[in-house]
Amino acid sequence: MDPISPISSAQASRSDKIVWTSYLEHIFIEFMHEEYISNRLQSSTFSPSVWTRICERMNAIVYPSHVFTIDQLKGKLNRVRRAWRCMNDILNRGTGWGWDSERNTITDDAGRLDELYRVQI
């Protein structure tokens, strides 16, 4: 078997976990985005052949220290989705919190940050 090919979950050791660095998350999201803009999304997920391609590309980066399974990558996608939904809810559901992309900082329309600062001092 090619060392960077995806392996089944049965072949993967349950104790063999990978630490998802910011770099790996960024690369994973970039690979998925490339597939998305190439119109390879089926409904709300990718076809098995697309998952295989993404898995092979990820394994080319981390091999030999780790070999991803498709199930691990799907699980990571689900965790990223949950985190995005949570952040989206915080920023867009009338909480008064927002994000200033120029300054890379949280914004607060209701003055709650000032109040929190006063309480902390």
**Residue whose C-alpha is closest to residue 63's, from 8, 15, 25, 24:** 24
pLDDT at res. 114:
67
Of 31 and 15, more confident: 31
pLDDT at residue number 27 = 96
pLDDT on residue 78: 93
What integer pLDDT is reported at residue 40 of this predicted model?
Answer: 80
Residue 19 corresponds to which tokens in the numbers above? 């630490």
**36-84 pLDDT, tens digit each:** 999 887 777 899 999 999 999 999 998 888 899 999 999 999 999 998 8
Exposure on the CB side of residue 32, measured as CA atoms within 13 A: 19
